[in-house]
Structure 1
Amino acid sequence: MYKIVNRKKWLSVLLADNLGRLLSLPWTLRRRSEAVAPETVRSILLIRTAYIGDVIMTLPMLRPLKERFPKSRITVLTAPGAAPLLQGHLYADEVVTFAPFWFYRAANFAEYFRFIRVFRRRQFDLVIEARGDIRDILLLVAPLRSRYKVSYGIGGGAYLLTHVVPYPGLRHKVEYHLDICRFLGCPDKPLDWGLRLTEDEQTQARQLIERLSVSGAFLCAHPGSRLPLKTWPEERCAALYDLLLERFGLPLLLLGGADDQARIERIMAMMQGKAVSLAGRTSLREMAAVLQEASLFVCNDSAPMHLAAALNTPTVALFGPSKSLETRPFSARSVVVEENFPCRFACDESSCHRAVKQDCMKAITPEAVLRAAETLLSGAGRQSGCTGTN
């Protein structure tokens, strides 16, 4: 069973899997699956290269792995953009960076061959591919020397693994990742993201905020997302931000990367009130430090949303084509605003086939988001909280 929405990708994985199974049949017939015993594991490689938000949702795996395999050294293979999140992480011993060409357009084949030629010399007792993607399994897991190779088979490539994690059905990605740990016998403990900011980083964030003439409590918003279909219309953002300023009477900081600057400038030009833009002015960790200080964060389904959840910042998240069941903020201090469009469950989030493009996002009103913010700050918000616009 494949968990792949895009039909072309589903067919290509099916063909590749059938061919791969046939070619690897002599090896798989000789292979014997053995239990992953803690005493046999001294080195672990955890692979999660795409994307920053997904990497954040992988972080809770690290503590259970460290507790199940206490004598092991844990290496995390991730993309350069996500690597700062693992600086000073409580349970990661090493971070290795690589941007695969199958996920990142700027990467290329030559970089892959240079990387894998060197990296495959290393030996890990246990390799875990957290995404369940045939490309990661074929091109990153298969070339490595490892006694145990573990992942899901729902994205293809199961024949290349020593252990295939059973897929329990659609659930939040944090639980999806933790199910790998449970499969390996890891203890179920209170969730720990392991993400820690230093005192210097927190101090620098406060100083940055003060230089913007902002003192005391403040609100944050992020109007962008990695995928255009997940972004709320700019005029709706402007209307909401004015409502937030009027309702709460607190300064509003707009967060984003350098590629969000033009969008944020257009939004600010539409506003009646005044917001402060930090677009392109903070690193990922600096953004985290600012978010940690915020009284409220409003955003689309995006990497900063997952960062806010990991920091336990009160968050109102707007969902359209993506499924909140899988990727909502994994935090009790959050509320999701969404409308029930059945096509979302068959949407690959790259193209919209409705008569009104991006109808699921456009159906969300600024007033509905404001109500969600009021609900959250009144203490009534829940992780599964959801409000519609009708």
Structure 2
Amino acid sequence: MRIAVLRANAVGDFLLALPALEALRSRFPAAAITLLGLDWHAAFLRDRPGPVADVVALPPVTGVSTMEDGHRAPPGLFTRLRERRFDLAVQIHGGGRYSNPFVRELGAGMTVGLRAPDAEPLDRWVHYADHQHETLRFLEVAALVGATADRLEPRLEVTGRDAAEVAAVLGEPPAGLVAVHPGATDPRRRWPVESFAAVADRLDRPVVVTGSRAEGDLVAGVVSAMRRPAVPLAGALSLGGLAALYRRCDLVVANDTGPRHLAAAVGTATIGVYWCGNLINAGPLSRARHRPLVSWTPACPVCGADGLDPAAPRCPHDPSWVAGIPVEAVLEQAHDLLRIDYIL
């Protein structure tokens, strides 16, 4: 009747977990699913239809809700969580070195989740290994309690509040709108702004360029490199507002980042620029409306550091590892997807 799910990280990470959350809700339809997440989860999921009934926004805990060292669970946290009397606690956060001890402290009737070789066991667990798609990884965990998926790609509801935000910021979005998103948390995953601009110019569609407030320079770079006008939107919308905007688009062209997952989850066709290793773990699982373009760069373009070995240390250089993906290749997929949308 009461299920806790630990997944306390970023937007794309949450969206990749949605099929597993839906599977749990389908298996236990009377249960309330509590997401152990972050503040942004609480704000974004409030009153949003979906498998999550409520969110507990965790304080900083090293390896669980932050990557920073030195943050132990504050006094009283586990007491408050145990008072919820969870019947099942699900760890789909990572390999479990930090998260499995955290989940075991919840006092749930059963614990299930992922386990890397250096992690404590749970009551039922699936081996955690590199190079597995995250959605399939989490569905393996859900299957430990008999939960299976109706679909593999995530789906997300857009609310009236989301749509009203877009109307307040943009008015009525034009027909045929295309969005491009040049940002990504890791600069190595960023396609050049000039490449985004070239694609946007040649689609002959109204264009909006999206990004967070911190990505304002990237958004401005795309707009200034374009020959045609485009609407810059850096930090102008909440996550829900961005979902509603993408729902009104015919296509979203983006790097491998949360907004691409968001656009796909609201039903919009997407093109994603991916480095090969990230495609394995986080690429779209279907190709009818989602097309990844892949860079096979195996090593740092500056120093040659190995990028294919997950255990190799990260070098200090931040050049794009995906810059070599041709504009023409992206345009080919964009035109194909836009024709499909027109026919539909």
Report the CA distance between 1:190 and its aligned residue. Answer: 3.5
Q: Distance in 2 between matches of 1:135 and 1:181?
A: 20
Pairing 1:72–2:31 present: yes
Number of residue pairs matched by the alignment:
330
Report the CA distance between 1:234 and its aligned residue. Answer: 2.6
Amino acid at match of 1:346: D
Contact in 2 for aligned 1:220/1:291 (Cα 8 Å):
yes
Q: Distance in 1 between matches of 2:216 and 2:312?
A: 23
Secondary structure of 1:221's aligned partner: strand
Matches within 5 A, 1:289-308: 289-308=244-263
Report the CA distance between 1:374 and its aligned residue. Answer: 1.4
Contact in 2 for aligned 1:63/1:194 (Cα 8 Å):
no
Contact in 2 for aligned 1:257/1:279 (Cα 8 Å):
yes
Amino acid at match of 1:372: Q
Secondary structure of 1:181's aligned partner: helix
Pairing 1:202–2:156 present: no
Shift of the 264–155 alpha-carbon distance from structure 1 to 2, 3 Å rule, reads farther
Taking structure 2 as the reference length, the TM-score comes to: 0.84
Shift of the 85–150 alpha-carbon distance from structure 1 to 2, 3 Å rule, reads same
Q: Distance in 2 between matches of 1:125 and 1:141?
A: 12
Amino acid at match of 2:284: P
Pairing 1:337–2:300 present: no
Q: Distance in 2 between matches of 1:370 and 1:267?
A: 16
Contact in 1 for aligned 2:3/2:32 (Cα 8 Å):
yes
Amino acid at match of 2:339: S
Secondary structure of 1:318's aligned partner: strand
* Counterpart for residue 36 of structure 1: none
Which of 55, 62, 82 pairs up with 1:95?
A: 55
By percentage of residues, which structure has more helix?
A: 1
Secondary structure of 2:292's aligned partner: strand
CA deviation digits over 1:195-238, x for unaligned, max 9?
22223432442453337xx5222110110011111111233233
Contact in 2 for aligned 1:126/1:148 (Cα 8 Å):
yes
Q: Distance in 2 between matches of 1:185 and 1:132?
A: 21
Secondary structure of 1:346's aligned partner: coil
Task: Give structure 2 stretches of 5+ with no counterpart.
Answer: 300-306
CA deviation digits over 1:18-64, x for unaligned, max 9?
xxxxxxxxxxxxxxxxxxxxxxxx21101100122111111112222
Report the CA distance between 1:352 and its aligned residue. Answer: 5.0
Matches within 5 A, 1:30-45: 42-45=1-4
* Counterpart for residue 369 of structure 1: 330
Which of 119, 122, 139 pairs up with 2:84?
A: 122
What is the percent sequence identity of the aligned residues? 26
* Counterpart for residue 304 of structure 2: none
Report the CA distance between 1:150 and its aligned residue. Answer: 0.9
Comparing 235-244 with 283-292, greater Cα deviation is found at 235-244
Task: Give structure 1 stretches of 5+ with no counterpart.
Answer: 1-41, 381-390
Shift of the 115–322 alpha-carbon distance from structure 1 to 2, 3 Å rule, reads farther
Taking structure 1 as the reference length, the TM-score comes to: 0.75
Report the CA distance between 1:345 and its aligned residue. Answer: 3.2
Contact in 1 for aligned 2:254/2:273 (Cα 8 Å):
yes
Which of 137, 142, 150 pairs up with 2:112?
A: 150
Contact in 2 for aligned 1:53/1:304 (Cα 8 Å):
yes
Shift of the 86–229 alpha-carbon distance from structure 1 to 2, 3 Å rule, reads same
Shift of the 134–64 alpha-carbon distance from structure 1 to 2, 3 Å rule, reads closer
Q: Distance in 1 between matches of 2:25 and 2:310?
A: 36
Comparing 307-316 with 258-267, greater Cα deviation is found at 258-267
Which of 309, 322, 327 pairs up with 1:346?
A: 309
Shift of the 192–67 alpha-carbon distance from structure 1 to 2, 3 Å rule, reads farther
Contact in 2 for aligned 1:322/1:347 (Cα 8 Å):
no
* Counterpart for residue 224 of structure 2: 269
Secondary structure of 2:191's aligned partner: coil
* Counterpart for residue 139 of structure 2: 178
Q: Distance in 2 between matches of 1:112 and 1:224?
A: 34
Instruction: Give the aligned CA root-mean-square deviation in angstroms.
Output: 2.9
Q: Distance in 1 between matches of 2:77 and 2:249?
A: 39
* Counterpart for residue 302 of structure 2: none
